[in-house]
Structure 1
Amino acid sequence: MRTIGRRLALTAFSALTAATVFTGSAQATVFDQGISVQPYGHISEDGKVTLSGTYHCQAASPMGARLQISAAVVQDGTRLAFGGGEADCDGQEHEWRATGSLKYTPDFHPGQALAEAQLNEIHFSGLLPRSVDTVAEDRQEIELTTHH
């Protein structure tokens, strides 16, 4: 009987330890996630810049969390960041496209720029975001072209 009590106590302790160790990781996400940005972007005649690429992610995100794509372009010291929508996390590769207005940053022009894409896990507390974790990121020099 004494051995059963020790095993039960050891099992309970192991479960508590595992719960403690993995509680911090419960907010983290699975490792099989990624995002890429294409080596080119487009500037439209109506004053918008568009970036695109691909992403993949798993559905095993914590309850109350959403995965969203964000993009940014930097040129001549000016940075423009914009959203790319919510990610469809089914383990498959998907294309993404994000468009930002140049209304307040009209100095963007065809030529070299730095593009960034992030896959962000947003944790909510009720209706409000509680925290944001970047789970995948790509950053590279691109060519901005005029798109007609």
Structure 2
Amino acid sequence: MSGRRMALAALSALAATTVFTVPAGATVFEQGITVHPEAHLTRDGGVILSGTYHCEQASPRGAMQIKATLVQDGTRLSLGAEEVVCDGAERRWVAHAPGSFVHVHPGRATVTGELQEIRLSGLMPRSVTTVAQDSEDVEVREGH
């Protein structure tokens, strides 16, 4: 292997290591997301997750979305949040799952919030990339 190829391989390995060691809550391309330390059960047995986010405008061929995943006692529940506005301002996100789909109880759980960019090809998604992520141990509480 030539010296140049070895240098490129080493640089690629270093870049890959850097990408995979970014701490939770870190930002990529001025994007960021946090998870609120409490989740709430609704009267109908649903669950509400929340946090904050900030992002810059997605590429002209893409859109942004928030995916929130709650894990508790073997139950894994993934939800989408309401519409994402990317103007650089910090905003609140909320994701709600109605009671008929939820098997969550009061107590500890882990919630992961992901700010994702969806790249489109025509009207169909071509790829989904997580640009910011935060994972927190949360307390699930009754009533909201």
Q: Same fold (TM over 0.5)?
A: yes
**Distance in 1 separating the partners of 2:83 and 2:137:** 25
Contact 1:70 1:85 in 2 (8 A): no
The answer for unaligned runs of 5 or more in structure 1 is 1-29
| Cα deviation, residue 72, structure 1 | 1.2
For residue 101 of structure 2, what is the aligned residue in structure 1? Answer: 104
**Match 2:63 to one of 61, 66, 80:** 66
For residue 40 of structure 2, what is the aligned residue in structure 1? Answer: 42
Describe the SS at the equivalent of 1:31. coil
Deviations 1:7-32 (A, max 9, x none): xxxxxxxxxxxxxxxxxxxxxxx611
For residue 144 of structure 1, what is the aligned residue in structure 2? Answer: 140
**Match 1:133 to one of 129, 133, 138:** 129
Identity %: 48
For residue 7 of structure 2, what is the aligned residue in structure 1? Answer: none
**Distance in 2 separating the partners of 1:49 and 1:35:** 19
TM-score (norm 1): 0.75
Dislocated runs of 4+, deviation >4 Å: none
| Cα deviation, residue 102, structure 1 | 3.8
**Distance in 2 separating the partners of 1:135 and 1:141:** 21
Q: Which of 48-57 and 96-105 deviates more?
A: 96-105
**Distance in 1 separating the partners of 2:111 and 2:73:** 13
**Match 1:123 to one of 119, 123, 128:** 119
Number of positions where the alignment pairs a residue of Structure 1 with one of Structure 2: 117
**Distance in 2 separating the partners of 1:127 and 1:144:** 37
